[in-house]
Structure 1
Amino acid sequence: MNMTARRRVRDLRLVWALCIASLVIYINLYMMQGMLPLIAEHFQVTSARSTLVLSVTSFTLALSLLVYAVVSDRVGRHRPIVVSLWALALSNLLLVFIDDFQTLLFVRFLQGGLLASLPAIAMAYFKEQLKPQIMLTAAAVYITANSFGGIVGRLLGGAMSQLFDWQSAMLVCLLFSIVGVGVTHYLLSRTRDAVKREHIRQSWSERLNFKKDIAGFMHHLRDSQMRLAYLIGGITFMMMVNQYSFIQLHLMDAFNWSRFQVTLIFLCYSSGTIASYFTARWISQHGQLPLYRISLAMMLVGSLVTLFDTEVAICIGFLLSSCGFFVTHSCCNSFVALRATTHRAKATSLYLCCYYLGAAAGGPYLMLFWQHSGWAGVITGSMVLLSLIAVFVWRLGYRQRQAMLPHPVC
């Protein structure tokens, strides 16, 4: 086999490895969202309180993204991914023997830190190992794997909550995770000869130069346009992912859907998956600000349509909202990537940190509205968040127009 063919095979192994790892990560992250009814029943907590399982995981995932961004620069990309994936897979064994809700929250709190490794490192791994033209394709396939893993995780959670008890469901999760991580480890081990090892040539003083890392994060936080993009992405996810949690409870209460049937609402994510595929073309044709406004309108209309409170209206509403959410997320992602000329990994990590912090905060926030007024209350809370997004989108446009004005000559 010649050098070009070996390189092609090695690149393919890397893409497959990180895509399989992505499935493991997002199924482990979102499976619990599909199991909320079973969690409420097994641990004897209210349905609303069961949503905290997703919030605590998202919280530690968000903060850990910043840590992995720094650690991977020190020790390389391969080791943090492999170690954290094995730790995640084996930690599912603890879930088999858990018998109280507080312990469940603690284990999921710890698992959030393990789930962050791949989202924080994957794009940097691709950038270092693949040629630019291959990297674009690999990134698109990887993002598709993320979305697919999220949908499958939720549907799998719903199916297992319908068919199995808690212990059996966690054993299935443990088995799947071990197999997925084992395949990922094998494939990554066959690509290690390509790993760049600049970190080996660093002195210990360079490795421990955390001031440089903090300066990199602060560089982006001082940028007002970056801050607005972080807020837009975080608040949008804060609303969207938690709407999906509470609509499951509403569908069970109002329409007597089964545990598995309520997870079928997550198929509405597919509208966003399709839309995100075309977003890059739309951005190049129309710019980001018009897309922000259109996607905001779609989320607003989609949320209000669900208040007709029929099964068809709810599905249509979530198809619209999901499309708007994914377009917004894609716009924020591309904006951060294009605007960051230095410390790119840190810029992306900050965005994802805000993104998942939003998911963590959204559960307790919308729970207050749910407990007071049910699904109508959730939509009321969502209107507040959409109003904030509208203000930040307007502010971002204003900042961009100000930046384009000629500076006065002194």
Structure 2
Amino acid sequence: MTELTPTYRSHAQTRLIWALCIASVVVYINLYTVQGMLPSIAEHFDVSGAQATLVLSVTSFTLAFSLLFYAVLSDRIGRLAPIVVSLWLLAASNVLLIFAQTFDELVWVRLLQGALLAAVPAISMAYFKEQLAPSFMLKAAAVYIMANSMGGITGRIFGGLMAQNLSWQTSMGLVFLVTLMGVALVTYLLPRKEIKPAVIKQKVSLLCKIKQDFDGFIFHFSDPQMRLAYIVGGLAFMMMVNQFSFIQLHIMAEPYGLSRFNATLIFLCYSSGTFASYLSAKWILRYGSLPLFRVALCLMLCGTLLTLVDTLVAIVISFLITACGFFLTHSCCNSFVAMRATSHRAKATSLYLCCYYLGASLGGPYLMLFWHKAEWNGVVVGSMSLLALLLVAIWRLGIHQQSTEALISED
């Protein structure tokens, strides 16, 4: 293992946290800007609103499975290079968006971007675990999740503003410049020295390497507690992110009649999640993950039911509560997975995030069925069924933890 002086290591740890948080903001701006521009995309490329949503769903889908690739790659060649290369390619890919002439071309570029966006979320938590002192780890994870939230808010509001005031080409040019500046800053901040875990070097065949990688994924997926953490994160995101999509349709209709841009301001409710993410490290240390999972579930349940009051004030308050509960869940899942993984760390994180983004992809079609039946009231019913499954998963996680603690006390 590379030896670093304490002063250098402390400085490098701070730079790493800043770099990966800024990288996260860049990634989520690129992922979610189009969500605020869907009506503009439909108009510019002469497609229906339903077709326009493909630019978000295809990106989320390729992102989910690319996470597994980056987990394997970073375990092989290190964490630094995949992050830097993917971010510069992401910036370059935005030039293709400027010159996209047809909707098919746009979809293909977004498909490519999904693969490039996956590097940072796939690698970051494993990177933190290896490079940071234990005292830094939980705080870094909390700040990183807060950066995710800030990137999501900024991207959606940024997209809504551009859709209202700028042409498609000008908007994509602005996204390119913002991404370029962000990537340059991340590259500057990332420490050049990487503390690499000690490994026994031995010559193995390609087939053996593939088997080792596959075994790493199976190792984590066969752990009941890890598996339940993946389910908890996936179900929570399946509900929350798609609730935000459908509530926009609800408040754009009568009796509210909000404009397209004003409807996107509902994403400012993510700010409560940003705050909860920041405080989550302190809460996890004090109370543990399991009690916080239960509190978060109660918050999401209360927030969802409060929307049935069906006034604009109640809707805003309810989404502030739901976002707080969701990001608390997400922070706990991220920390739980990162701290529990003792080997194949990037694979553990990427499996979690793969389930997380697959949940988001599946949640849209699932809640759409309820929307077609009873609009927002139907979405609430569909959300309650997801919360019921979440309750079962958290309950099962609690049983496994109690069993583990009992075995430890016996020893």
Q: TM-score w.r.t. structure 1 length?
A: 0.89
How much has 1:375 moved relative to structure 2? 1.9
Contact 1:55–1:361 at 8 Å: present in 2 too?
no
How much has 1:298 moved relative to structure 2? 1.7
Cα distance in structure 1, aligned partners of 2:193 and 2:280: 35
Cα distance in structure 2, aligned partners of 1:25 and 1:362: 21
Residue equivalent to 1:97: 99
How much has 1:262 moved relative to structure 2? 1.7
Cα distance in structure 2, aligned partners of 1:140 and 1:381: 30
Cα distance in structure 1, aligned partners of 2:127 and 2:400: 33
Cα distance in structure 2, aligned partners of 1:367 and 1:53: 17
1:228-307 alignment, distance < 5 Å: 228-254=228-254, 255-307=256-308
Counterpart of 2:282, as a letter, is: R
Cα distance in structure 2, aligned partners of 1:381 and 1:308: 17
Contact 2:80–2:194 at 8 Å: present in 1 too?
no
Residue equivalent to 2:309: 308
Structure 2: any 5+ residue segments left out of the alignment? none
Q: Deviations over 1:205-261 (max 9, x none)?
A: 489612111111111211222212211110110110111112122222232222322
How much has 1:59 moved relative to structure 2? 1.4
Counterpart of 1:186, as a letter, is: Y
Aligned length: 405
How much has 1:48 moved relative to structure 2? 4.3
Partner-residue secondary structure (3-state), 1:98: coil
Residue equivalent to 1:124: 126
Counterpart of 1:33, as a letter, is: Q
Partner-residue secondary structure (3-state), 2:253: helix
Contact 1:75–1:199 at 8 Å: present in 2 too?
no
Please provide the CA RMSD for this pair.
2.8
Partner-residue secondary structure (3-state), 1:35: helix
How much has 1:321 moved relative to structure 2? 0.8
CA distance change for structure 1 residues 307 and 97 in 2, over 3 Å: closer, same or farther? farther
Counterpart of 1:145, as a letter, is: A
1:27-42 alignment, distance < 5 Å: 27-42=29-44
Q: Deviations over 1:286-327 (max 9, x none)?
A: 443333233222212211211222211110110111111112
Residue equivalent to 2:21: 19
Q: Deviations over 1:330-368 (max 9, x none)?
A: 222233234333333222221111111111111222223
Cα distance in structure 1, aligned partners of 2:80 and 2:340: 27
Cα distance in structure 2, aligned partners of 1:52 and 1:105: 7
CA distance change for structure 1 residues 38 and 388 in 2, over 3 Å: closer, same or farther? same
Contact 2:139–2:281 at 8 Å: present in 1 too?
no
How much has 1:86 moved relative to structure 2? 1.4
Cα distance in structure 2, aligned partners of 1:228 and 1:65: 19
Residue equivalent to 2:398: 397
> Is structure 2 residue 342 aligned with structure 1 residue 326?
no
CA distance change for structure 1 residues 394 and 133 in 2, over 3 Å: closer, same or farther? closer
Residue equivalent to 1:384: 385
Contact 1:159–1:259 at 8 Å: present in 2 too?
no
Structure 1: any 5+ residue segments left out of the alignment? none
CA distance change for structure 1 residues 194 and 335 in 2, over 3 Å: closer, same or farther? closer
Greater Cα offset, 130-139 or 110-119: 130-139
Cα distance in structure 2, aligned partners of 1:197 and 1:386: 39
Greater Cα offset, 375-384 or 59-68: 375-384
Q: Percent identity?
A: 61
Cα distance in structure 2, aligned partners of 1:406 and 1:304: 40
Residue equivalent to 1:348: 349
Q: TM-score w.r.t. structure 2 length?
A: 0.88
Greater Cα offset, 216-225 or 316-325: 216-225
How much has 1:406 moved relative to structure 2? 6.4
